[in-house]
Amino acid sequence: MLIKSPIVAALFVFLCSSADAAQDVALNLDEIHERAKVTERWQPEPEVVIPGEQGRPPSDAIVLFDGDDLDQWVAASGGAPSWRVEDGALTVLPRSGDILTREHFGDVQLHIEWRTPAEVKGEGQGRGNSGVFLMERYEVQVLDSFDNPTYANGQAASVYKQHIPLANASRAPGQWQTYDIIFMAPRISSNGSLLHPATVTVLHNGVLVQNHAVIAGQTVYVGAPGYEAHGEAPLRLQDHGNPVSYRNIWVRRL
């Protein structure tokens, strides 16, 4: 084929080179896709968990209290718990003692809702005080911390006497509040030595207040924390003499 016009000749060369470039690009993309497959992992497929609707627990959760009864709980002193169940809530009966789950747990995702009395009585640690103890030993404090000064590592959402919360996300007295807790149990060897401390992440009313906090040992009122050898253990709710209420309690094993 004889092309006499310089302009037509230049256009012909451009079109030919563009077609070659397009083919090279297509070949390069095929090569990239093949190389990408090397880092694709199709197994194992994650287990399907159906999220809860309107505050309900997810499909794989262990429901510990749904407003009906205390079948999943025992008194810490033994026997049936004396705490009151009414209007879908579980309320501390002061001076009746702590309660424990029948089932024992290690690493968990815990959801729990709580409410301090609407009628404010007392101040500081004497106002709406209770606690959520992971493995019976490691306390996330429950307290009416709405306009209620106290020591910062003992206010609501503190890891008691160990970690001050990153924020005070407390609602007013008488309003329901939530804790969403990710707890990783300590790893302790057969000879009792600590391999890895426990850690906890807490969202208080949707606000991150403990971010993978490292727990130094059992949370205690007096003295320094420390670890002891133990296996899985119950969740404990504390009777601190105030009629604090709980509802919608569930856990997922991790």
Residue 163 counted as domain residue: yes
Two tokens, residue 224? 């320094």
Q: What are residue 20's phi and psi, to 5 degrees? A: -65, -40
Domain span at 32: 1-44
Residue 55 counted as domain residue: no
Do 96 and 7 lie in a common domain? no
Residue 149 counted as domain residue: yes
Do 24 and 83 lie in a common domain? no
Residue 135 counted as domain residue: yes
Do 98 and 20 lie in a common domain? no
Q: What are residue 32's phi and psi, to 5 degrees? A: -65, -45
From residue 171, alpha-carbon distances to 87, 143, 159 in Å are 21, 11, 19
DSSP state letter for 38: T
Do 172 and 223 lie in a common domain? yes
**What are the pLDDT tens digits along the chain (254 aa)?**
444 555 545 544 554 556 666 666 666 888 888 889 999 999 999 989 989 887 789 999 999 999 999 999 999 999 999 999 999 999 999 999 999 999 999 999 999 999 999 999 999 999 999 999 999 999 999 999 999 999 999 999 999 999 999 999 999 999 999 999 999 999 999 888 999 999 999 999 999 999 999 999 999 999 999 999 999 999 999 999 999 999 999 999 99
Do 220 and 103 lie in a common domain? yes
DSSP state letter for 88: T
Do 134 and 100 lie in a common domain? yes
